[in-house]
Amino acid sequence: MKIGITGATGQLGRIVVEKLKEKVPAGNIVALVRNPQKAEELSVETRAFDYSKPEGLAESLKGVDSLLLISGNEIGQRASQHANVITAAKQAGVKWIIYTSLLYADKSTLSLAGEHLTTENTLKQSGIPYTILRNGWYTENYTGSAKGAVAAGAFIGSAGAGKISSAARADFAEAAVVVLTSNGHVGKVYELAGDEDYTLTDLAAEISRQTGKNIPYNNLPEAEYAKILTSFGLPEGIALAIAGWDVAASKNDLFNNSRQLSALIGRTTTPLATVVKAALAE
């Protein structure tokens, strides 16, 4: 049985492939990537696969039984790109699609939610058996700023006192592998989030604890935060999006205490302190 992984050279995809190789023979895994040369180190079969080029997708999916559709990274293009993949999967006879969506995709105020929900509906209407993994925030989305916060003397954002139930990227990758290699998941929609919740004030306190420096959290108005991000060199559209995601976090859109993620992977999710430590050591 062949398992296809889209976006296999991405940050999540790479971890999925490595963890999947621990469960199934490498010969059963197909890495579906935009640039096959970048996937050589994965040591599995690779096939060219570009979400935005529908003409070659069905051919690349031939012989694939189960497909992990990792959501694309081109915000604004994803609904149509994912639809291309789902259409091609149907043409190629793919028997099951697992899709990485967004926590509370049907009610979240995050700007990302709309494209994910559209994809979920496209998938449900395709007639292909499906499983939807509504991934919460990756802890690395925030801890990636830890070193910069230490250098600047403060952690900044617009999330207020919103509770964030994030988990390490590896936790979500492991959940995808569990679903791909076990039974009973068809038709399920999983809301996946970390066991531990924290505010950005808590995160700043953890960074302070680990560095021995006083790194406070400064909560900023959305527009001011976006302006500062732009001054760091981020494109204005990305800066506005990130600030908007923080505002959604302030409304607890990134909070979930159902513990479906730890139930799937059979262990507690990676603690915030562990991810902070790794980020500071990079």
Residues of the chain with CATH 3.40.50.720: 2-135
Per-residue pLDDT of the chain (282 residues; tens, 9 = 90+): 899 999 999 999 999 999 999 999 999 999 999 999 888 899 999 999 999 999 999 999 999 999 999 999 888 899 999 999 999 999 999 999 999 999 999 999 999 999 999 999 999 999 999 999 999 999 999 999 999 999 999 999 999 999 999 999 999 999 999 999 999 999 999 999 999 999 999 999 999 999 999 999 999 999 999 999 999 999 999 999 999 999 999 999 999 999 999 999 999 999 999 999 999 998
Q: In the CATH hierarchy, which fold is given to the domain comprising 143-148+153-163+195-257+266-281? A: UDP-galactose 4-epimerase; domain 1 (3.90.25)
Q: Taking the alpha carbons of 120, 51, 75, 152 in that order, is the dihedral positive or negative?
A: positive
Sheet holding 189-192, edge to edge: 45-48, 29-33, 2-6, 64-69, 96-102, 130-135, 189-192
Return the structure tokens found at 142. 């925030």
Phi/psi at 46 (5° precision): -120, 145
Instruction: Please give the CATH architecture assigned to the domain spanning 2-135.
Output: 3-Layer(aba) Sandwich (3.40)
Residues of the chain with CATH 3.90.25.10: 143-148+153-163+195-257+266-281
> Which pLDDT does position 186 carry in this prediction?
97
For residues 180, 68, 274, 204, the Cα torsion angle rounded to the nearest 10 degrees is -140
> Which pLDDT does position 73 carry in this prediction?
86
> Which pLDDT does position 14 carry in this prediction?
96
